[in-house]
Amino acid sequence: MSHRIVLPTPLRRFAGNADSIDVEAETIGEIIERIETLHPGFRDRICEPNGELRRFINIYLNGEDVRFLEKLATKIPAGAEVAIIPAIAGG
Amino acid sequence: MSFVTGLKCRECGQIYPLQPQGGCAECFAPLEVMYDYEAIGRALSRERIAARGPSLWRYRELLPLESEPTVGRSSGFTPLVPAERLGAALGLKNLYLKNDSVNAPTLSFKDRVTAVAINKALEFQLEAVGCASTGNLANAVAAQAATAGLAAYILIPEDLEWSKITATSIFGAQVVAVRGNYDEVNRLCTQIADRFPIGFVNVNLRPFYGEGSRTVGYEIAEQLGWRAPDAVVVPMAGGSLVTKIYKGLCEFQRLGLLENEVHTRMYGAQARGCNPIVEAVQRNSRDIRPVKPHTIAKSLAIGNPADGYYAAGVIAESGGWAEDVSDDEIRAGIRLLASTEGIFTETAGGVTVAVTKKLVEQQRLQPQDLTVLAITGNGLKTLEAVELPPPPVIEPSLSEFERLAKSFSGPAGIHSTSRASAAAQA
């Protein structure tokens, strides 16, 4: 299933300067893998070497932080909105 | 004249010029303002600070402005109050309150961070500012944006206390209530800041904004006679304040302004209904597990605290601890502070007082410790949280008052009718 991922400005230069990207994926983790295939090096910006999401990156599925769901294993329903957002804000 | 040398990533060390930017473009970690401490050390002395006016700008060499501030000029330098009666109630002989509930212009510690951020927005020639807020920051940004003549866009969770919403709208700010909790509001602001030319004080102006909190540490030290205290208890929402107070004390030490060495233990306070930093500290970790907040302490209801990782680090490194308290304990904390010291704080202050009680019971705070509580906000903003019963209503009749007075504590309840009238005749 194809999903459109909106990329925040700081991430765009690691994904061909596009402001969004369409990828085929079943899970959040697969999205990162697909973008990595298109733009090698992208994964390292999002994930720690152990594969976990970086501390200062949040990924939201329909507005819900995937850390509250199944993290990178979270399945993506049809028509869902996926957003990658830097976490350093607020307080 | 400025002693700022640039912005630096706290994790990977990447250097950036001074510009509106929230995080590192390489690793997305927060950025920190860098200073030339050697030059500051030559320019700043106790005498020079003490000769200046009573605002946070008395430490201007340590604040990241390139020019003289034009707004927020009376923010900061709030009273440090010796708290004997509260201390007696808690079992602390050397207790002080840093009373930011009377900060200017909007009665919370957020006046400090906002003063720095709005002046910075003017320096960057931004035309509009904004914030995600649990209330206190909304008040502060709206007020200081009005002073600066800037448009303000304030996003808040829909369920915020009505008094905090009114105290924001009154300044002419565009307030937007979002159906969601603070973390959702915050996420939205990050997206808006990416799309619109707005200086969000706690997004793209955040590195500068946070610097204002260090002045709490400077003031505590100066007001104690250039001494670092033994312990500071700080309420935690995003977790920034506890780190910045500690940083402020350490900077004063580095600049040779202190009588003693900094051995200050930093204690963090949260509501049980939103305790992700406490939870991390108590499992000896810095890794924050986000939560969904549910507490009356709405000003602290941040479930995914941006500085949680650093707050947990400072608390552990300083030999402190973190605790949480229930909503009932928070209300009791507000009442205890009010009834012993005459200071009416909002829910965050209730959290701080209630956690202090717990830390004494756990013997983490010793009776002789020079202890400072950060009271960060004013109770008039969260009247609905304290749930006090309404007062009894009587006719304007002395006999009705006398009947009622039998249930009073204190002198009015002791005096019988005959003794009171005898006293009146004598």
Q: What is the pLDDT of residues B47-82, one digit of tens each?
A: 999 999 999 999 999 999 999 999 999 999 999 999
Confirm whether A78 is domain-assigned.
yes
B292-336 per-position pLDDT tens digit = 999 999 999 999 999 999 999 999 999 999 999 999 999 999 999
Confirm whether B29 is domain-assigned: no
Is residue A49 in some structural domain?
A: yes
- What percent of chain B has pLDDT above 90? 94
Q: How far is CA A46 from CA A30, B32, B266, in A?
A: 13, 21, 32
Q: Do B183 and A65 touch (CB under 8 A)?
A: yes
B19 touches chain A (CB under 8 A): no
Mean pLDDT along residues B347-373: 98
| pLDDT value of residue B424 | 52
pTM beyond 0.90, yes or no: yes
User: What residue of B is the nearest CA neighbor of A62?
Assistant: B184
B270 and B317 in a single domain? The answer is yes
Name the residue of chain A whose CA is nearest to B131's CA: A90
B251 and B364 both lie in a single domain: yes
Does residue A18 sit within a domain? yes
Chain B partners within 8 Å of A17 (Cβ): none
d(CA B371, CA B265): 9
Range of the domain at B364: 80-106+213-386
* Sign of the torsion angle spanned by Cα atoms B248, B253, B255, B259: positive
CB B8 within 8 A of CB B34: yes
Instruction: Give me the pLDDT at residue B412, please.
Output: 82
How remote is the C-alpha of B378 from its chain's centroid?
10
| HSE toward the beta carbon, residue B233, CA cutoff 13 A | 30
Judgement on whether residues B424 and B365 belong to the same structural domain of the protein: no
Q: pLDDT category, B413, cuts 50, 70, 90?
A: confident
One DSSP character per residue, B337-356 reads HHHHHS--B-HHHHHHHHHH
pLDDT for residue B1: 66
Q: Which of A67, A77, A73, A63 is nearest to A32 (CA)?
A: A73
Query: Is some CB atom of chain A closer than 8 A to the CB atom of B305?
Result: yes
pLDDT at position B221 is 98
The pLDDT of residue B419 is 53
Tell me how many domains chain A contains: 1
Say if residue B336 is in the same domain as residue B422.
Answer: no
Averaged pLDDT, B217-242: 98
Domain-located, residue B24: no
The answer as to whether B233 is a domain residue is: yes
| Residue A32 belongs to a domain | yes
**Parallel, antiparallel, or unpaired: how do β-strands B371-375 and A2-6 relate?**
unpaired
- Of A4, A14, A65, A57, nearest to A38 by C-alpha is A14
Task: Write down the pLDDT at residue A39.
Answer: 96
Residue B100 in domain: yes
Look at residues B295, B31, B299, B281 and name the one whose alpha carbon lies nearest to residue B156: B299
Q: Is pLDDT above 70 for B422?
A: no
Q: Which of B191, B200, B202 sits opposite A85 (nearest CB)?
A: B191
- CB of B320 within 8 A of CB of B278? no
| A:B CB pairs within 8 Å | 86
Whole-number Cα distances in Å, A8 to A13, A14, A18, B190, B191: 10, 11, 10, 9, 8
**B262 and B368 in one domain?**
yes
Interface mutation target, options A56, A57, A60, A82, chain B, most CBs of B under 10 Å: A56
Q: According to the model, what pLDDT value does residue B229 have?
A: 99
Least confident of A16-25, B217-226, B273-282: A16-25
Residues B318 and B222 in one domain: yes
Specify whether B99 is located in the same domain as B223: yes
Those residues with Cβ within 8 angstroms of residue A22's Cβ, 6 or more apart along the chain or in another chain: A2, A3, A4, A5
Examine the domain organization and report whether B279 and B423 are in the same domain.
no
Selected residues 18-77 of chain A with any CB under 8 Å from a CB in chain B: 45, 54-58, 60, 63, 65, 67-68
Nearest CB to A88: which of B30, B183, B237? B30
Any residues with CB less than 8 A from the CB of B146 and at least 6 apart, and which? B152, B171, B172, B173
CA distances from B311 to A71, B9, B235, B285 (A): 24, 17, 11, 11
Local confidence band at B414 (pLDDT 50, 70, 90 cut-offs): low
Q: Supply the pLDDT for residue B387.
A: 86
Whether A88 has a pLDDT exceeding 90, the answer reads: no
Mean predicted lDDT score pLDDT of chain B: 95
- Residue B125: HSE in the Cβ half-sphere, 13 Å Cα cutoff: 0
Assess if residue B59 is contained within a domain. no
Is residue B337 domain-shared with residue B406, that is, in the same domain?
no
With a CB-CB cutoff of 8 Å, which residues 258-287 of chain B face chain A? 287
* CATH number of the domain encompassing residue A68: 3.10.20.30
Number of domains in chain B: 2
Which chain A residues are within 8 Å of B186, Cβ to Cβ? 89-90
Please tell me whether the peptide bond between B105 and the residue prior to it is cis, using omega within 30 degrees of 0.
Answer: yes
SS3 B400: helix
Query: In 3-state terms, what secondary structure has residue B169?
Result: helix
Q: In this predicted structure, what is the pLDDT of residue B206?
A: 97
B343 shares a domain with B264: yes
Question: What one-character DSSP code corresponds to residue A45?
Answer: H
Rounded to a whole number, what is the distance in Å from the CA of A59 to chain B's nearest CA? 10
B48 touches chain A (CB under 8 A): no
User: For residue range B174-207, what is the model confidence (pLDDT) as tens digits?
Assistant: 999 999 999 999 999 999 999 999 999 999 999 9
Residues of A in contact with B11 (CB under 8 A): 56
Please tell me whether residues B381 and B400 are part of one structural domain.
Answer: no
Q: What is the pLDDT of residue B423?
A: 52
Residue B242: pLDDT over 60: yes
Q: Is B204 among the domain residues? A: no
B93-115 average pLDDT score: 98
Whether B228 and B276 share a structural domain = yes
Altogether, the residues listed in chain B come to a count of 426
> What confidence tier does B411 reach under pLDDT thresholds 50, 70, 90?
confident
Structural domain boundaries, residue A70: 2-86
Long-range contact pairs involving B255-258 (C-beta distance under 8 Å, separation at least 24): B255/B37, B255/B40, B255/B41, B255/B44, B256/B41, B257/B44, B257/B45, B257/B46, B257/B49, B257/B221, B257/B226, B258/B221, B258/B226, B258/B227, B258/B228
